[in-house]
């Protein structure tokens, strides 16, 4: 049937998809490529075919059933498989590499090895194949891998949790065939240890609570995020009590993984978990919530059912979220703390837009960074009285200044401050905006007193604002107050044990430990931050100094070389001219260390 263009083309395309038996799916595509298949076949054709058939049988009998994969193509020396989730694909890749390592060698003594690449995108699919411009990107990524290595695109990396789904290493940007712009790739390896990062052995007296996204049932596509919105609203209200509440992004990272109470406690260090389900009929919500003790094999301490509306959930002071928060807090502390909600988004679409802008901002890619600004600016135009996008825009300017991507810092600082001041004006209780105001004042304007006032105001409003603790740690470090910097950094790390911007937390925490003179911990944090996010240059600067102070000049020069590749014009004097650390008592030691590592004075 011919398909015409014009006003009816959308309907016609839909009809054509139906006729062709195609549907659009969001999938993770895994491509396996046999290493040096041509030379292997030339040496031992039958042996290679025998091993390949054994591998296919293993994939069919074990890998696909265990991880929910579907074989799309078998090419004689490669496979294409689709998965619903990134972590299923990563586990499958690990199993394939393990099979190759354990398999008997060929008669030549050589072994089969695999390169594996993963990419996540929206594809057209039928019962036999998948189609779309992004299908071949997984193959391009696989071609970049070394034997036994798994590489993934950012679209896959963002769905994984460092330490829980594997050890992620940022390999930087690479050019691939038929793609004009370089793409960011990450290596994934199996992680033998728990993901929760070690925090210094100082006891935190307050009980720690993780609020998991509520499971939404019976909702349409436009309401798919209602469970996340409930958790978000509950976190904002519960965080106003005497409890320590982990960030929403942390809780989202462990949701839906089938973890036992003991595993949740191990991963995030929480004592209690609050979760539930929600049913939606039109604008009406029926929510069931329960609080469990993670140290007592998941004993239910409190449960309740509440009715509400979606409109109520999207108000600054949601009655539904307040009922859940109050019930959970009363069960733990036998009393009620102060409840007040931050300004939430006015629609589900806006909420998705905000999260997308935040994620792109922290990728440290210039293209994604510019796109994040576009998204956040667009959201401020759509919802001018919604404070959160303006607060994140303020941090966008601060990150741009730190990376050296903004030329006139003084002008950009005024723009950033205008955004956060407007956010606070629209929502005086928005602790995030107060926090970022302090970041702009300290890093961009070098006004430490103004920054301290902003952080104190943010923590008075919300004692569990992890970013406020993190930036307070940096402020103490810049002032040479090492012990205070270390303690504040520990609190920030505790509140965000699993976080999409964990590298950023670890980077500033490394600076705090440097100021405290605890070089081993500073180096551990900096090394891990760079391994998971290699384009954040501030971490390189800290690691250069720490390595020199530890006497590891070789490592210092290696990291200095990486830093200069990212910032070719970087000099010691330029750093001292713009960095708040220049005011630290350690400034002379920092300058000496950088020069000893081979960085020009300038």
Q: Give pLDDT, residue 135.
A: 78
283-292 long-range contacts (CB < 8 A, ≥24 apart) are 283/309, 283/310, 283/311, 284/308, 284/309, 284/310, 285/226, 285/309, 285/310, 285/313, 285/320, 287/214, 287/230, 287/320, 287/324, 289/214, 289/324, 289/327, 289/328, 291/327, 291/328, 291/331, 291/332, 292/261
Rounded CA separation 96/120 (Å)? 19
Lowest-pLDDT choice from 123-127, 220-224, 371-375, 395-399 = 220-224
Task: Specify the residue for token string 């070389």.
Answer: 561
Least confident of 121-135, 168-182, 282-296, 385-399: 121-135
First to last CA, the chain: 69
Q: What is the arithmetic mean of pLDDT over 145-173?
A: 89
Would the pLDDT of 149 be above 80?
Answer: yes
Percent of the chain with pLDDT over 90: 42
Q: Exposure pattern of 420-447 as b/e (b: 16+ CB <10 Å)?
A: bebbbebbebbbbbbbbbbbbbbbbbbb
Q: Does residue 280 carry a pLDDT above 90?
A: no
- Mean pLDDT, range 371-388, rounded to an integer: 85
Beta carbons of 20 and 129 less than 8 angstroms apart: no
The model's pLDDT over 399-422, given as tens digits with 9 standing for 90+, comes to: 888 777 877 888 989 999 999 999
- Provide the β-strand partners of residue 188: 168
- Report the 10 Å Cβ neighbour count for 9: 12
Check whether 14 has a pLDDT greater than 90.
Answer: no
Please say if the pLDDT value at position 49 is more than 60.
yes
In the predicted model, what is the mean pLDDT of residues 512-518? 97
pLDDT at 539: 95
Q: Are 390 and 435 in contact (CB under 8 A)?
A: no
pLDDT in tens, 51-90: 999 999 999 999 999 999 989 888 878 999 999 889 899 9
pLDDT (tens digit per residue) in 100-109: 999 988 888 8
Note the pLDDT tens digit of each residue in 453-463.
999 999 999 88
Structure tokens at 36: 């040096």
**Residues spanned by CATH 3.30.70.1230 within the chain?**
21-189
Mean pLDDT of the 465-470 span: 93
Residue 444 pLDDT:
86
Residue 5 has pLDDT above 50, yes or no: no
Tell me how far apart the alpha carbons of residues 31 and 132 are, in angstroms, rounded to a whole number: 15
Q: Is 151 exposed, middle or buried (0-12, 13-18, 19+ CB in 10 A)?
A: buried
The helix/strand count (H/E) of the chain reads as 26, 14
Judge whether residue 336 has pLDDT over 80: no
Q: Which of 450, 444, 394 is nearest to 422 (CA)?
A: 394
d(Cα 527, Cα 512) in Å, to the nearest integer? 15
Confidence of residue 520 (pLDDT cuts 50, 70, 90): very high
How much is the pLDDT for 341? 26
The reported pLDDT for the residue numbered 197 is 41
* 577-598 average pLDDT score: 91
- What's the average model confidence in pLDDT over 444-460? 94
The alpha-carbon radius of gyration of the chain (Å, integer) is 26
A 10 A CB-CB count for 348 gives 19
The SS3 assignment for 105 reads: coil
SS3 of the chain: helix, strand, coil, percent, to 5: 55, 15, 30
pLDDT score recorded for residue 330: 77
Q: Are 297 and 212 in contact (CB under 8 A)?
A: no
Flag whether pLDDT at 127 surpasses 70.
no
Q: Identify the pLDDT of residue 352.
A: 61
pLDDT in the model for residue 498: 67
Q: Do residues 347 and 225 lie in contact, with contact meaning Cβ atoms separated by under 8 Å?
A: no
pLDDT bracket for residue 200 (50, 70, 90): very low
SS3 475: helix
Q: How does DSSP classify residue 205?
A: -
Q: Please tell me the distance from the alpha carbon of residue 183 to that of residue 594, in angstroms, as a whole number.
A: 31
pLDDT in tens, 160-193: 877 778 889 999 999 888 888 888 999 999 865 4
Torsion, CA 187, CA 192, CA 193, CA 194, rounded to 10: 70
Is the model's pLDDT at 266 over the cut of 90?
no
The angle, 0 to 180 degrees and rounded to 10, between the axes of the packed helices 348-361 and 387-402 is 10
Task: Give the integer Cα–Cα distance in Å for 447 and 445.
Answer: 5
Q: Quick one: pLDDT at residue 542?
A: 96
CB-CB contact of 465 with 431 (8 Å): yes
**Residue carrying structure tokens 């106003």:** 240
Q: What average pLDDT is seen over the chain?
A: 84
Q: What is the CATH number of domain 208-333?
A: 3.40.50.10610
Tokens 């509306």 -> residue: 309
| pLDDT at residue 73, as a whole number | 87
Which residue ranges does the chain devote to CATH 1.25.40.10?
A: 342-463, 480-602
CATH superfamily, domain at 21-189? Nucleotide cyclase, GGDEF domain (3.30.70.1230)
Name the CATH architecture for the domain at 342-463.
Answer: Alpha Horseshoe (1.25)
- Quickly tell me which residue has 């990376």 as its tokens: 403
What is the band of 497 on the pLDDT scale with cuts at 50, 70, 90? confident
The CATH H-level (homologous superfamily) assignment of domain 480-602 is: Tetratricopeptide repeat domain (1.25.40.10)
What is the mean pLDDT of the segment spanning 568-597? 91
Compute the average pLDDT of residues 145-149: 93
Beta carbons of 96 and 114 less than 8 angstroms apart: yes
Cα separation, 552 vs 541, whole angstroms: 15
pLDDT (tens digit, 9 = 90+) per residue, 476-494? Answer: 999 999 999 999 999 999 8
Average pLDDT over residues 14-29: 74
Lowest pLDDT segment from 176-180, 463-467, 527-531: 176-180
* Rounded average pLDDT over 498-512: 88
Phi, psi of 520 (to 5 degrees): -65, -45
87-98 pLDDT, tens digit per residue, is 899 999 999 999
- Which letter does DSSP use for residue 62 in this model? I
C-alpha distance from residue 4 to each of 14, 354, 535 (Å): 12, 38, 48
Residue 272, classified by CB atoms within 10 Å of its CB into exposed (0-12), middle (13-18) or buried (19+), is: buried
Q: Of 522 and 368, which is predicted with more confidence?
A: 522
DSSP state of 198: P
pLDDT higher than threshold 90 for residue 579: no
What pLDDT is recorded for position 186?
95
Q: How is residue 106 annotated by DSSP?
A: P
Sign of the torsion formed by the C-alpha atoms of 597, 599, 600 and 602: negative
Round to whole Å and give the CA distance between 483 and 106: 59
As a whole-number percent, the residues of the chain with pLDDT over 70 amount to: 88
How high is the pLDDT of residue 556? 97
State the burial class of residue 147 (Cβ atoms within 10 Å of its Cβ: 0-12, 13-18, 19+). Answer: middle
Model pTM? 0.75
pLDDT tens for each residue of 220-234: 555 667 888 889 888
C-alpha distances (whole Å) from 304 to each of 16, 62, 277, 325 are 49, 42, 11, 11
Q: Does residue 11 surpass a pLDDT of 60? A: no
């Amino acid at each position: 049937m011919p398909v015409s263009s014009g006003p009816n083309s959308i309907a016609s395309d839909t009809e054509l998809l139906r006729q062709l038996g195609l549907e659009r799916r969001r999938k993770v595509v895994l491509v396996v490529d046999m290493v040096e298949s041509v030379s292997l076949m030339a040496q031992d054709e039958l042996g290679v075919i025998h091993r390949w058939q054994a591998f296919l049988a293993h994939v069919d009998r074990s890998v696909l059933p265990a991880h929910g994969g579907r074989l799309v193509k078998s090419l004689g020396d490669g496979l294409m498989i689709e998965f619903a989730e990134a972590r299923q694909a990563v586990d499958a890749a690990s199993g394939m590499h393990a099979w190759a390592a354990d398999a008997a060698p060929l008669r030549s003594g050589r072994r089969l090895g695999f390169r594996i690449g993963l990419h996540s995108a929206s594809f057209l699919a039928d019962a036999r194949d998948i189609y779309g411009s992004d299908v071949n990107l997984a193959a391009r990524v696989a071609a970049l891998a070394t034997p036994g290595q798994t590489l993934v695109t950012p679209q896959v990396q963002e769905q994984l949790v460092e330490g829980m789904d594997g050890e992620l290493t940022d390999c930087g940007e690479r050019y691939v065939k038929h793609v004009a712009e370089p793409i960011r790739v990450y290596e994934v390896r199996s992680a033998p240890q728990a993901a929760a990062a070690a925090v210094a052995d100082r006891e935190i007296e307050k009980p720690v609570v993780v609020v998991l996204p509520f499971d939404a049932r019976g909702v349409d596509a436009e309401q798919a995020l209602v469970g996340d919105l409930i958790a978000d609203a509950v976190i904002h209200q519960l965080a106003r009590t005497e409890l320590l509440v982990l960030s929403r992004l942390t809780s989202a990272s462990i949701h839906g993984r089938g973890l036992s109470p003991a595993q949740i406690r191990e991963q995030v260090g929480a004592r209690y978990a609050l979760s539930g389900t929600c049913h939606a009929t039109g604008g009406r919500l029926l929510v069931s919530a329960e609080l469990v003790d993670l140290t007592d094999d998941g004993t239910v301490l409190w449960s309740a059912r509440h009715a509400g509306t979606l409109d109520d959930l999207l108000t600054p002071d949601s009655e539904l979220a307040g009922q859940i928060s109050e019930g959970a807090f009363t069960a733990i502390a036998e009393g009620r703390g102060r409840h007040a909600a931050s300004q939430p988004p006015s629609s589900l679409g806006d909420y998705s837009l905000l999260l997308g802008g935040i994620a792109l901002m922290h990728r440290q890619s210039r293209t994604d960074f510019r796109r994040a600004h576009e998204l956040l600016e667009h959201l401020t135009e759509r919802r001018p009285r919604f404070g959160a996008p303006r607060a994140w825009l303020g941090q966008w300017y601060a990150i741009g200044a730190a990376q050296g991507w903004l030329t006139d810092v003084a002008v950009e600082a005024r723009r950033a401050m205008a955004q956060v001041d407007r956010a606070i004006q629209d929502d005086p209780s928005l602790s995030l905006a107060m926090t970022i105001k302090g970041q702009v004042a300290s890093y961009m304007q070098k006004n430490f007193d103004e920054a301290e006032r902003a952080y104190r105001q943010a923590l008075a409003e919300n004692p569990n604002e992890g970013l406020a603790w993190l930036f307070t740690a940096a402020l103490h470090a810049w002032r040479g107050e090492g012990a205070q910097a270390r303690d504040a950094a520990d609190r920030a790390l505790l509140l965000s044990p699993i976080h999409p911007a964990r590298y950023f937390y670890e980077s500033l925490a490394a600076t705090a430990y440097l100021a405290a003179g605890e070089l081993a911990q500073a180096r551990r944090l900096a090394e891990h931050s760079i391994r998971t996010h290699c384009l954040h240059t501030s971490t390189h600067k800290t690691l250069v100094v720490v390595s020199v102070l530890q006497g590891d000049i070789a490592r210092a020069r290696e990291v200095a070389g990486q830093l200069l590749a990212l910032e070719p014009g970087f000099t010691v004097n330029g750093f001292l001219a713009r960095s708040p650390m220049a005011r630290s008592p350690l400034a002379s030691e920092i300058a000496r260390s950088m020069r000893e590592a081979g960085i020009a004075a300038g």
